[in-house]
Amino acid sequence: MSTLFEKIIAREIPAKIEHEDEHCIVIHDIDPQAPVHCLVIPKKPIPRVGEATAEDQATLGHLLLTAAEVARKLQLAEGFRIVINNGKNGGEAVPHLHVHLLGGRQMEWPPG
């Protein structure tokens, strides 16, 4: 069964796309937790970062570099936060690895 993100990548579910390349897609979160809240999603389905393998190293690096590129595009020069949830207690809602890019306001610490 396809995950929500696989359906978005396949264009079965609409999303506001900010960026797309051969390795990932970046969409705006439908329940934003900051003025800017995008999700950087690999096209290769990896359930969670805790299940990534050495084979996924290039993909993981690409996700972070893409998040930084999108942050520049969205003018987050004052700062931004990158979050990766892993598992139920980590706040994971969709079992498909994704990077949250949050910005546009002062972030709090601890995050919650």
CATH number where 25 lies = 3.30.428.10
Domain count, the chain: 1
Q: How far is CA 76 from the centre of its chain?
A: 16
Q: What is the pTM of this model?
A: 0.95
pLDDT band at 111; cut points 50, 70, 90: confident
The one catalytic residue among 19, 37, 62, 98: 98
Q: How many residues in the chain?
A: 112
Structural domain contains residue 108: no
Which residue range forms the structural domain that includes residue 11?
4-103
The closest of 109, 88, 102 to 37, measured between CA atoms, is: 102
Is 23 annotated in the active site? no
Mean pLDDT of the chain: 96
Secondary element (H or E) of residue 103: strand 99-103
Taking residues 64-75, what's their average pLDDT? Answer: 98
Cβ pair 103, 71 in contact under 8 A: yes
